């Protein structure tokens, strides 16, 4: 089975702020402030499947305002629009292996019910997974290129079965039926071995191999640990997986399917987050999550030593993939101060081509801020890592307000990647400290498990200590520090305003959980295999845990909120329902506290459309300018902005 590779994040450099007032004035004259429209005119590119003749790449881009599908010549040139949706985002999955047909995917305005589509050679687009209410995911192509594999929950909304579909007539048959939450995680190219995982908790999973011929299921791990399937060798003799068994971080292992012998293949001082072979198995690509950024090794499989990759100076390669004959590699290259551009590299001729320029031409890259990794001690001595963005105009003589940024999850991680919203806030004079509080991934399993069953308590104190760290920085106005977050980070924002009401001066809640009892009871059915693990970490709403879940749910304690708040929500969100935001807004307004509410009818869990992003982010900055910087007259509290 040919596996797709996804890449993540980016580079960190330390920014040195000049304290001298004369130099400060020079810096001020050089720093231009940009509008949100200018920041959102940056282009986001994703994917990069090679056509069968290697002449083009198939990519997704939001240049039209939402994501559509485009082709771009491998050696550079104009992008050609394949789709022209003006409502639902459409994403590129892959070229077909032997012709120029294209596999695409789309959901319904953020409802996460993805379908797979084929664009034929005449330009017609057909839904090949049309079952209403069923979610489908592309898994890869067969070794002979005659079939595609996909997962679908059309039989039972709780579980994803695996199907094999003909590329000729799109007829399909089920090849794996899941009836117990054993999630499909990979398959050998001869289809004789399936890798299956069973979630035990939010860190640990059992990993098993199912032999199709013998019907024997073999569990790979001996003790509870974080186990993840990665790939099978081309000759179908060896299975590769990552595990943190006996250690803090995940390392790469091999398992011989015949002898059952296990060997350690690669180990780093950080998590190995992914590994897999190229089509001909000449190379193995290994991803390492090093202090919140991707570090990539492309290994020659004969020697298992890294090959030389192009040098991009102060930017880093964040993702790679290869064409089928392994002559071409596509790369995404960027940094915390630069959105990722798409490059191609010919491994035979060493030709290198930059295909995109995604940073808006109106923005001077020198005006953007490079993230700095910092660490501080929390209330109990636990060391908390964070990503720090300090405005270039900040100094001891020109102190700036700041925001504590909290990632989603629980169990997520703020990484050293480019964020238009963060750069917009920083460009307009707000420092941002993106906290990786206890319970964040990427810093070892002990740190990851430290917030289990104490959410909104010790992890909240980590955020408060982040605020205290900011207040000690000479460039920060310690009397003007707020908190912002999305999803679980939105919950942390509300928890901060509720349970530590005098610590933060304002709160920005993007689609945050406010009633854990309701959220955990309304988990989407397709999360069934993960539901019990989530209950183990957060609590079971159908048990005695409900008492604690109510206690940590801000909705039931809105009378404690005293600081200005803005709430942003998508009406189609299947994870954090709109009612969560509706009710927290109503509850806080009863206190006579300033609350703004921005609701988007055509968004889900996160805002994808540029028009809505511009509205959301501009409203956030306006809110901060009024209630944190105290620059302007207060805006109307009761305005509810509805887009769609």
Per-residue model confidence (pLDDT) at position 8: 26
* d(C-alpha 596, C-alpha 615), whole Å: 13
Side-chain-side CA neighbours of residue 194 (13 Å): 21
Classify residue 329: in a domain, yes or no.
Answer: no
pLDDT in tens, 272-290: 999 999 999 999 999 999 9
- For the segment 618-626, the average pLDDT, to the nearest whole number, is 98
- Rounded Cα distance between 470 and 401, Å, is 9
Percent of the chain with pLDDT over 90: 86
Q: What is the mean pLDDT of residues 486-503?
A: 97
pLDDT at 20: 36
**409 and 381 in contact (C-beta within 8 Å)?**
no
* Strand pairing class (238-243; 251-256): antiparallel
Check whether 632 has a pLDDT greater than 80. no
pLDDT tier for residue 19 given thresholds of 50, 70 and 90? very low
The proportion of the chain whose per-residue pLDDT surpasses 70, expressed as a percent, equals: 93
Two tokens at 12?
């960190």
Per-residue 3-state assignment (H helix, E strand, C coil) for 567-585: EEEECCCCCCCHHHHHHHH
Q: How far apart are the first and last CA of the chain?
A: 41
Number of domains making up the chain? 1
pTM of the model: 0.90
Residues of the domain holding 489: 369-515+553-643
Domain membership of residue 500 (yes or no) is yes
Residue with tokens 């009378």: 559
CATH of the domain at 501: 3.40.50.1820
Q: What is the dihedral of CA 566, 569, 575, 577, to 10 degrees?
A: 90
Q: Are strands 328-335 and 316-322 parallel, antiparallel or unpaired?
A: antiparallel
Q: 287 forms bridges with which residues in the sheet?
A: 274, 296
CA max distance for the chain: 77
CA-to-CA separations, 543 to 379, 488, 548, 550, 556, in angstroms, rounded: 31, 22, 10, 12, 19
Whether the CA torsion 124, 130, 134, 137 is positive or negative: it is negative
pLDDT of residue 98 exceeding 50, the answer is yes
Residue 631 binned pLDDT confidence (cut-offs 50, 70, 90) = confident
Asked if residue 245 is part of any domain, the answer here is no
Do the domain assignments include residue 639? Answer: yes
Residue 605 confidence (pLDDT) above 60: yes
Task: Report the candidate in 581, 621, 626, 625 with the shortest Cα–Cα distance to residue 603.
Answer: 581
Pairwise CA distance, residues 619 & 614, whole Å: 8
Q: What is the pLDDT of residue 202?
A: 85
Say if residue 3's pLDDT is above 70: no
Averaged pLDDT score across all residues of the chain: 92
User: Is residue 487 predicted with pLDDT exceeding 50?
Assistant: yes
Residue 461's pLDDT is what?
97
pLDDT confidence tier of residue 160, bands split at 50, 70 and 90: very high
Does the pLDDT at position 197 exceed 60? yes
**How many C-beta atoms lie closer than 10 Å to residue 23's C-beta?**
12
State yes or no: pLDDT of 321 exceeds 70.
yes
Residue 456: inside a domain: yes
In tens, the pLDDT along 51-88 reads: 999 999 999 999 999 999 999 999 999 999 999 999 99
Q: For position 534, what pLDDT does the model report?
A: 87
SS3 174: strand
In a domain, 121, yes or no: no
Please enumerate in sequence order all residues whose Cβ is within 8 A of that of 313, keeping only pairs 6 or more positions apart, or say none.
none
Asked if residue 314 belongs to a domain, the reply is no
Q: In this predicted model, what pLDDT tens digit does every residue of 348-388 receive, in sequence order?
A: 999 999 999 999 999 999 999 999 999 999 999 999 999 99
- Is 575 within the bounds of a domain? yes
**Half-sphere exposure at residue 206, Cβ-oriented, CA atoms within 13 angstroms:** 12
- Enumerate residues 6+ apart whose C-beta is below 8 A from 543: none
């Amino acid at each position: 089975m040919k596996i797709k590779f996804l890449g993540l994040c980016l580079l960190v450099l330390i920014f040195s702020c000049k304290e001298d007032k004369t130099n400060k004035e020079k810096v001020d004259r050089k720093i231009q402030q940009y509008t949100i429209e200018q920041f959102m005119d940056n282009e986001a590119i994703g994917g990069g499947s090679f056509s069968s003749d290697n002449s083009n790449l198939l990519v997704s881009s939001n240049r039209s305002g939402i994501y559509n599908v485009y082709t771009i010549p491998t050696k550079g040139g104009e992008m050609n629009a394949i789709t022209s949706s003006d409502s639902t985002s459409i994403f590129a999955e892959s070229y077909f292996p032997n012709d120029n047909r294209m596999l695409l995917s789309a959901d319904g305005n953020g409802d996460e019910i993805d379908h797979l589509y084929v664009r034929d050679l005449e330009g017609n687009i057909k839904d090949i997974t049309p079952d209403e209410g069923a979610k489908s995911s592309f898994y890869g192509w067969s070794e002979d290129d005659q079939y595609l594999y996909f997962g679908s929950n059309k039989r039972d909304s709780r579980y994803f079965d695996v199907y094999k579909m003909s590329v000729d007539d799109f007829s399909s048959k089920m090849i794996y039926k899941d009836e117990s939450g054993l999630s499909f995680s990979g398959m050998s190219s001869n289809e004789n071995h399936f890798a299956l995982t069973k979630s035990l908790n939010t860190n640990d999973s059992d990993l098993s191999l199912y032999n199709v011929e013998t019907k024997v299921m073999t569990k790979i791990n001996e003790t509870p640990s974080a186990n993840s399937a990665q790939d099978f060798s081309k000759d179908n003799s060896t299975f590769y997986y990552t595990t943190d068994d006996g250690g803090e971080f995940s390392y790469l292992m091999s398992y011989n399917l015949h002898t059952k012998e296990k060997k350690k293949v690669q180990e780093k001082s950080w998590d190995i987050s992914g590994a897999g072979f190229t089509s001909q198995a000449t190379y193995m690509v290994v991803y390492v999550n090093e202090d919140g950024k991707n570090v990539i090794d492309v290994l020659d499989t004969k020697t298992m030593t890294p090959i030389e990759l192009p040098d991009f100076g102060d930017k880093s390669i964040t993702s790679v993939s290869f064409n089928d004959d392994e002559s071409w590699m596509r790369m995404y290259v960027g940094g915390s101060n630069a959105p990722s551009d798409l490059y191609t590299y010919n491994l035979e001729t060493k030709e290198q081509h930059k295909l995109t320029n995604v940073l808006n031409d109106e923005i001077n890259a020198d005006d953007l801020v490079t993230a700095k990794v910092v660490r501080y001690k929390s209330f109990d001595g636990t060391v908390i890592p964070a990503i720090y963005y300090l405005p270039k105009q900040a100094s001891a003589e020109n102190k700036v307000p700041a925001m504590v940024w909290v990632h989603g999850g629980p169990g997520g991680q703020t990484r050293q990647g480019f964020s238009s919203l963060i750069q917009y806030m920083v460009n307009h004079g707000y420092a941002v400290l993106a906290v990786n509080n206890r319970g964040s991934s990427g810093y070892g399993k002990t740190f990851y498990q430290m917030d289990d069953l104490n959410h909104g308590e010790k992890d909240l104190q980590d955020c408060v200590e982040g605020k205290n760290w900011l207040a000690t920085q000479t460039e920060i106005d310690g009397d003007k520090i707020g908190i912002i977050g999305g999803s679980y980070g939105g919950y942390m924002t509300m928890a901060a305003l509720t349970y530590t009401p005098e610590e933060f001066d304002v709160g920005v809640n993007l689609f945050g959980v406010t009633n854990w009892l309701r959220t955990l009871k309304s988990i989407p059915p397709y999360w069934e295999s993960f539901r019990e693990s989530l209950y183990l970490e957060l609590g079971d709403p159908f048990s005695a845990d409900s008492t604690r879940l109510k206690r940590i749910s801000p909705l039931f304690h809105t009378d404690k909120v005293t600081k200005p708040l803005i709430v942003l929500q998508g009406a189609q969100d299947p994870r954090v329902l709109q009612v969560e935001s509706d009710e927290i807004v109503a509850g806080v307004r009863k206190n006579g506290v300033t609350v703004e509410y921005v609701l988007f009818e055509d968004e889900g869990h996160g805002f994808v459309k540029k028009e809505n992003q511009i509205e959301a982010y501009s409203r956030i900055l306006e809110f901060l300018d009024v209630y944190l910087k105290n620059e302007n007259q207060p805006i109307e509290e009761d305005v509810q902005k509805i887009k769609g």
